[in-house]
Amino acid sequence: MAASPLVMGVVNVTPDSFSDGGRYLDAEQAIAHGRRLLGEGADILDIGGESTRPGATRPLLEEELDRVVPVIEALAADGATVSVDTMRAEVAAAALEAGARVVNDVSGGLADPGILDVVAGSPATTYVAMHWRAHSDRMQEFTTYDGPVAAVVAEELRARVVAIRAAGIADERIVLDPGLGFAKNGAQNWALLARIGEIQEIGFPVLVGASRKRFLGQLLAGPDGALRPVEERELAHAAVLAALARAGVWGVRVHDVRAARDVLTTIERLEAEG
């Protein structure tokens, strides 16, 4: 039986996240939310100060730092394994200084190549490199793939691995993410999920973030075409989690930690009988 995926709980310290925009913008609220997620079974807390929803514009560097550093400091002091969700080298450096142990870079080093040097200089840091083609305000202009989407994503991730290794980051510190929803339409997201093995075949642990994303809302759209609301997509996400767990992915990035933990615990119990 494959090990159950790690559960990465999302803490968005932003005013405009698609899933919970503004709810945890205040540092104390974000810290309290992170502690709740830990209590519900999160293995990692992913702290982000920049929304990457389609169409989002970037915050100033100072804004992103002010949002994430106090939250990381508090949760790391609690003993949590903290990840910083950032594309900026300066934010990654400050987050590591504050106690983060994972850098979750949705650009895979393309937005700011200096982030690779920051991670290379922190030997205990895990680096998550996601498949990415452009910033959020333009990424949906880049959904054309010259071949099956999983094969092309795998090829482009392999190119990022070359750059990551060249920066001095050891293989055992690298995690890959196929980037569901980033420069991908709904059909492409489903094709990637169905062929997640092609990403795993690159040879690194794989993190997947499907939680609450638009393609689930599209799948569950009403007769009038209206997307299923964000907060009503969790049962569909549970089915995705079950498939990912059986595929043996390294981790899942989720908003509802308790629901994710319930799904994974149930799968573990069933497989224990096999």
Report, as residue numbers or ranges, the catalytic residues. Answer: 213, 253
What is the dihedral angle through the alpha carbons of 151, 84, 209, 57, rounded to the nearest 10 degrees?
-80
CA distance 104 to 243: 23
Residue type, 65: L
Q: Phi-psi bin for 203: left (phi > 0), alpha (psi -120 to 50), beta?
A: left
CA distance 229 to 259: 17
Contacts 24+ apart (CB under 8 A), 51-54: 51/12, 51/14, 51/15, 51/16, 51/17, 51/18, 51/21, 51/136, 52/106, 52/136, 52/182, 53/16, 53/17, 53/18, 53/136, 54/18, 54/136, 54/139, 54/140, 54/181, 54/214
Residues β-bridged to residue 8: 44, 253
CA distance 245 to 82: 22
